[in-house]
Structure 1
Amino acid sequence: MTATHLITGAGSGIGRLVAERLHARGDLLVLVARDDARAADLTAAFPGSIPIIADLASPEAIAPAVQDADVPASVDTLIHAAGVVELGAVGDLPLQAWTSQLTVNLVAPAELTRAVLPRLRAARGQVLFVNSGAGLNAHPGWAAYAASKHGLKALADALRGEEARHGVRVTTIYPGRTATPMQQKVHEQEGAEYDPTQWIDPESVATVVLAALDLPRDAVVSDLTVRPGPRS
């Protein structure tokens, strides 16, 4: 049976790979795009997909965008894979860096989830948050990003308890450093040389995501940490 998946962050990284795997199955994708140009790119890459044009930096536009899009009445999974990162010490980080990361990484997922919940309940579906190791531990220079990801964990934990009676499963995946464009940006901010072979292949994280989605209905993966494996 064809399933419907609503995905943020399908333009690159883990979200892109998850979208590719689900599209290859013949499932229907509903993809959030920040603007018309990105929507055109995504629908070209994933023929038959449905775009929702909404900039996650403007959460107030999310619910109207969902309402305006041709989203089916039943959505099997909502996958939050989008995110932004800006590193800096608490004493140096400007206000904009806090507000942008909290908005995109936390407030927008909460608002999109709220807007889509009736469709998820109709499907007895699943919400999956691609969080981060920073959602469990905060290190120097990572305060704002980690705060947004700790908040995302709180959102998932509360949602899991609230929606169990509706049959909606909630999963959080915490990948360690993964070889994505975001990780390359992180290395640039850290002033460090980037070697993608030292970090998790994003295909491995995509495999974990699909395993959580494909788990039989008698169980749920609530929280799962994925760390870089040993290197020879």
Structure 2
Amino acid sequence: MTTHLVTGAGSGIGAELTRRLHERGDDLVLLARSEDRAAELRTAYAGATVLVADLAWPESVEGLELPRELDSVVHAAGVVELGTVAELSVEDWATQLRVNLVAPAALTRVALPALRAARGTVVFVNSGSGLTAHAGWSAYAASKHGLRALADALRAEEAEQGVRVSSVFPGRTATPMQEKVHRHEGKPYDAGQWIRPETVADTIVRLIDLPRDATIPEVVVRPAG
């Protein structure tokens, strides 16, 4: 039996990954931003341990009681607020940096003893914006570029402990976040044009199930079209 900690389990890629791991009988530790959200996740995923921590305030992860061993920690939660540098407020910047970068760093630190005990895998669900920044994406891209740097440093630091670190860089994926992006861009949204969240979840499952003789530092997933 393997145990996985997943953030962002309520929507998009995180929800699809959680569903898949639950269906195959793995033990799950899920993070919810509120007690109401936690109740929803407990109903959806019977037997899962659901903990409350609001990633908009990374300090909230400090007191989490985690299992003694974790086979993986998957950081799938994220937020986006688009706008030019001239438009974005300090709060727009701070929120995206807190949720997309500082919270994963803080949660990983808290989970490291359990990851080391299991020789587990950390998966950061990044973005194509973590590789290239485009106009209107400055704050989000900065948070995701930082997330790549976090992954690189963590990989080097924890290799001797047997902890593997992978980053997944999905292109545009058919999730509620993508719908929000299209509304901001003023473009019609057609989910069929983009990567299915199931495809990204399948990539993550392959990473956490990878035999111990190898590691995959980075995977880029792009829409076929």
Question: Normalised by the size of structure 1, how large is the TM-score?
Answer: 0.96
1:80 corresponding residue in structure 2: 75
**Structure 2 residue aligned with 1:113, among 96, 108, 111?**
108
CA distance in 1, matches of 2:216, 2:13: 18
1:90 alignment counterpart: 85
1:192 to 187, 192, 196: 187
- Match for residue 225 of structure 1 among 211, 220, 223: 220
How many equivalent pairs are there? 225
113, 119, 124: which one pairs with 1:124? 119
CA RMSD of the aligned region, Å? 0.6
What runs of 5+ residues in structure 2 fail to find an aligned partner? none
In the TM superposition, residue 72 of structure 1 has moved relative to its aligned partner by 1.6
- Which SS does the other structure have where 2:69 is aligned? coil
Runs of 4+ in 1 over 4 A off after TM superposition: none
1:157 pairs with 2:156:
no
CA drift at 1:61 = 1.4
Alignment-derived partner of residue 216 in structure 1 = 211
SS where residue 16 of structure 1 aligns? helix
Distance in 1 of aligned mates of 2:173 and 2:55: 22
C-alpha displacement at 1:112, in angstroms? 0.3
1:167 aligns with 162
- Residue identity opposite 1:152 in structure 2: L
Q: Give the secondary-structure state (helix, strand or coil) at the position aligned to 1:172.
A: strand
Q: Which amino acid aligns with 1:15?
A: G
In 2, the alpha carbon distance for the partners of 1:24 and 1:63 equals 30
Cα distance between partner residues in 1 of 2:178 and 2:154 = 28
Give percent identity, aligned residues only: 60
- Give the deviation of 1:214 after TM superposition: 1.3
Q: Is 1:29 matched up with 2:24?
A: no
SS, match of residue 88 in structure 1: coil
Gapped regions of structure 1 (runs ≥ 5): none
Q: Secondary structure at the match of 1:48?
A: coil
Q: Aligned partners of 1:11 and 1:96: how far apart in 2?
A: 24
Correspondence for 2:38:
39
